[in-house]
Amino acid sequence: MKLLFLWIVALHVCTAIATTKVMHLTSLTEFKWQNRLLIIQVNSKKELSQLQDEIYYHSSDFNDRKLLMLISINDKTWILDATTAQTVSPQLNHQVLKIINQNLEKVLLIGLDGGIKNRYTAKTFSLEQVFNEIDLMPMRSRKTDD
């Protein structure tokens, strides 16, 4: 049963990647006050697929926290959420690659205000760490108090 589930998720990821559109956002500032971002560099499509699986598994957590992943692979950046994978515009791709090159081996958490909230070590970071940190943020606290 688990193998069937993994096969379906892998098929979903391959289909999403094969049918991607270019996201027309041209700057990280366009996400400001709309989404939190995780910026990650991966080295293979297998790692990309694994991250898509994690996003799918945690889709309600991502949606609830307004969280998207920007994933760079082979100098190309993808926006991933629970249902889609889209490549970004050349301008945004350039910005993401610049940030990644300044923060090698790190996963960056960008807050709703557009500021870097944390730099996690890529080899040891977990989504649970990110979710816990977001839940402690003032913007998140105000949302849950309402």
Query: Which residues share a beta bridge with 100?
Result: none
**What is the distance between the alpha carbons of residues 61 and 70, in angstroms, rounded to a whole number?**
16
Predicted confidence pLDDT, tens digits, the chain (146 residues): 554 444 444 444 444 443 344 457 789 999 999 999 999 999 998 998 888 889 999 999 999 999 999 999 999 999 988 777 888 999 999 999 999 999 999 999 999 999 999 999 999 999 999 999 999 988 765 555 44
Q: Domain 2-145 is in which class?
A: alpha beta
Q: Are 50 and 80 in contact (CB under 8 A)?
A: no
- DSSP single-letter state for residue 69: E
CA angle 129–93–76, rounded 5-degree value: 85
Angle formed by the axes of helices 127-135 and 138-145, nearest 10°: 70
